[in-house]
């Protein structure tokens, strides 16, 4: 186990408003580990006794259907807690894999619970993290109503451009290496279907796709497309 240091915590804005005494305890109890792209942190139904926090990098949260189809639920990045839902002592209900080379901070669950019991601000930080995930799940449930796959893809690309977009002269670059297969996993579809939709969007001048990088020419156009305005 590798201990974290002060520099690690300086990178985490999530803790910027907590008391110094709490921050000191967190530093004492924190460890870190590097994960290579594709490396699994844990699988669905594993018993996990650590709470993970992304120091830098990105991870994929996903589930696998009974038919073996992978469905990506979240991509989480710097400053996000990964598995704060394990406080109920049940097995994890989702799998987690490094989307890219990442450095992950972690606390043993009982250590973090003890610190939380002494500082309500920290408890609120954890609760707010869970709340954001729940809201994202609600939005995804809304998108499970019957919609054509092209509209679902447009909605997903619009969301990714908002969360991971970088402005360029050609449009908004989604700063993730996303393959057609990965997009299919995110939407619970086939690679062939997503490829057809991507080609259609390119012909319409809505996006540009090159070397696993997507440029959304105008996010507002995607928004209008999937909302049917």
User: Within 10 Å of residue 201's Cβ, how many Cβ atoms?
Assistant: 23
Residue range 209-228: mean pLDDT, rounded: 86
Q: Band of the pLDDT at 53, cuts 50, 70, 90?
A: very high
Q: Band of the pLDDT at 153, cuts 50, 70, 90?
A: very high
What region, left, alpha or beta, does residue 194 occupy, with left being phi > 0 and alpha being psi -120 to 50 degrees? alpha
Domains and CATH numbers, the chain: 2-142 (2.60.120.10), 149-227 (1.10.10.10)
Q: Which residue has 């606390």 as its token pair?
A: 107
CA distance 124 to 168: 37
Most confident of 10-24, 106-120, 197-211: 106-120
pLDDT of residue 138 exceeding 90, the answer is no
pLDDT of residue 113 exceeding 90, the answer is yes
pLDDT of residue 10 exceeding 70, the answer is yes
- What are residue 44's phi and psi, to 5 degrees? -50, 135
CA distance 72 to 126: 23
Residue range 165-169: mean pLDDT, rounded: 92
183's tokens: 């997009």
Q: Express each pLDDT in 14-35 by its tens digit.
A: 998 899 999 999 999 999 999 9
pLDDT of residue 229 exceeding 70, the answer is no
User: Pick from 167, 190, 189, 166: which is nearest to 176 by CA?
Assistant: 166
23's tokens: 């921050």
């Amino acid at each position: 186990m590798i201990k974290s240091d002060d520099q690690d915590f300086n990178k985490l804005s999530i803790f910027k408003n907590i008391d110094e005494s709490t921050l000191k305890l967190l530093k004492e109890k924190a460890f870190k580990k590097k994960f290579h792209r594709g490396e699994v942190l844990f699988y669905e139904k594993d018993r996990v006794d650590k709470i993970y926090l992304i120091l830098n990098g990105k991870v994929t949260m996903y589930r696998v259907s009974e038919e073996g189809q992978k469905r990506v639920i979240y991509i989480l990045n710097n400053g996000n807690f990964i598995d704060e839902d394990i406080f109920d002592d049940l097995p994890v209900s989702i799998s987690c894999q490094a989307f890219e080379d990442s450095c992950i901070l972690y606390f043993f669950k009982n250590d973090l619970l003890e610190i939380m019991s002494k500082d309500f601000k920290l408890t609120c930080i954890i609760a707010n993290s869970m709340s954001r995930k729940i809201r994202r799940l609600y939005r995804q449930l809304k998108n499970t109503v019957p919609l054509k796959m092209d509209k679902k893809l447009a909605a997903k690309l619009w969301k990714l451009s908002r969360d991971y977009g970088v402005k360029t002269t050609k449009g908004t670059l989604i700063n993730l290496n996303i393959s057609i297969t990965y997009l299919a996993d995110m939407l619970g579809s086939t690679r062939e279907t997503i490829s057809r939709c991507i080609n259609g969007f390119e012909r319409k001048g809505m996006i540009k796709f090159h070397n696993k990088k997507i440029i959304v020419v105008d996010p507002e156009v995607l928004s209008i497309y999937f909302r049917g305005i």
